[in-house]
Amino acid sequence: MKFTNKAPTIPRSGSLRERIAAAKRIEKMDRPKAEPKTGRSGSQMTERFAAASASTSRPQRNSDFPDTYIAEIFVRLEDPDHPVTLTWTGPNASAQEAGPFRSSPGAGLRGLNCDELATSKRSGSTCTPKGTFTVTGFASRLSSHPEATDVTWFVPARGIALHYYPSVPKYAASHGCVRLESRRIAQLIKNNSRADITQVIVDGTWTKPRHQW
């Protein structure tokens, strides 16, 4: 399949205002489209039906889903690995992979410090927001960058998600999402999290990378 969407670019020599505007256009592209969710307010029967087809349509989904699922995704911002760890709940929780798994968070715009809480949550900052959030939904890929696959959103207004990405360096490099080094782990997170239930916690000390947007 060929994707024709071209991601907006952030001008390297632009003013901070111009770069924030460009980053906001990327956020807009990556916001989730409205679709049914199967979380706390959804149908338990729907989740169980989906679990029955796990082997073909939901790679890495555990056989006890939705009774066994990821309760918490913990993202630490420290270089070089920015480790992601999972806390599971349910009858088969002890048999599941917990990590840590390598990732890369948002690089931030030049002139911004993503280690500051308020700045990290600012729209158009290209920072990964610090704090506690709830998984809101899922997608096969991001609109702005189709190579970003197996998407688990947690700040949908900014298009911020955990996802697989081919490049996961040992420094902050993304436009705000949490890039995961392993596609298998991105699938594990996507297909074992529950919308409106699974929590995402982002904490730790962000280090300014050599290249910011």
Map out the domains of the chain as residue ranges: 16-203
- In sequence order, what are the residues at sequence separation of 6 or more whose Cβ sits closer than 8 angstroms to the Cβ of residue 32? 136, 137, 139, 153, 156, 159
Q: What is the pLDDT at residue 53?
A: 42
Q: Residue 21 is encoded by which pair of tokens?
A: 């505007």
CB 110 within 8 A of CB 212: yes
**Rounded to an integer, what distance in angstroms lies between the CA atom of residue 117 and that of residue 108?**
13
Nearest CA among 98, 33, 88 for reference residue 66: 88
> Residues in the chain with pLDDT < 70?
1-7, 34-56
What pLDDT score was predicted for residue 42? 45
Distance between CA atoms of 84 and 81, rounded to whole angstroms?
Answer: 9
- Note the pLDDT of residue 54: 43
How many CB atoms sit inside 10 A of residue 107's CB? 25
pLDDT tens digit sequence for 66-106: 999 999 999 999 999 999 999 999 999 999 999 999 999 99
pTM (predicted TM-score): 0.86
Interacting residues of 212 by C-beta distance below 8 A, sequence separation 6+: 107, 108, 109, 110, 112, 126
We find that the CATH architecture of domain 16-203 is Beta Barrel (2.40)
pLDDT at 9: 83
Is residue 29 within 8 Å of 9, Cβ to Cβ?
A: no
pLDDT of residue 34: 67
